Amino acid sequence: MCLAVPAKIIELNGDDAIADCVGNHIQTKTTLVPEVKLGDFILIHAGFAITVLDEEEAKKTWKLLEDMDTFNKTNNKVSG
């Protein structure tokens, strides 16, 4: 439940943001990271940005999510 995903802020209006996570657009509140700017990379948990990340870290996690997705698909095939 404490899962969080990195995303890039592509729209910012007050503390309402739209963030891009590998093509998925996520509605996000930035209330907890008031310093955030358009174009920043953030970590999103349950609809809220909880910290600002650097681009390298965000990309590392995206790769991890991609691997997880591939693994799950493969795993489901094996078990199914």
Partner 1 sequence: MLERINKAYKQIARANQTLGRRINVMEVCGTHTVSIFRAGLRDVLPDCLKLLSGPGCPVCVTDQGYIDAVLSLSERDDIIIATYGDMIRVPGRNGSLEQKTNKGNIKIISSAQDALNLAKQMPDKKILFVAVGFETTTPATAVLANEALNEGIKNLFIFSNHKLVIPAMEALLSEKNHRIDAFLCPGHVSVIIGSDAYKPIVEKFKRPCVVSGFEPMQIIIALSEICSQLADGTPAVASLYDAAVTPQGNKTAQKITNESFDIVDGYWRGLGKIAKSTLKLKEKFSSLDAEKQLGIQFIPEEDLSGCRCGEVLCGLIDPVECGLFANSCMPDTPVGPCMVSSEGACAAWYKYARRKRQN
Q: What is the binding site for partner 1 (CB under 8 A)?
A: 1-4, 27, 29, 31-34, 43, 45-48, 50-51, 53-54, 56-57, 60-61, 64, 68, 71, 75
Q: For the CB of residue 34, give the shortest distance to partner 1 in the complex, in Å.
A: 6
Instruction: Report d(CA 4, CA 6) in Å as an integer.
Output: 7
Beta strand 5-13 with 16-21 is antiparallel
Q: For the CB of residue 38, give the shortest distance to partner 1 in the complex, in Å.
A: 19
Instruction: Report d(CA 4, CA 12) in Å as an integer.
Output: 20
Q: For the CB of residue 58, give the shortest distance to partner 1 in the complex, in Å.
A: 9
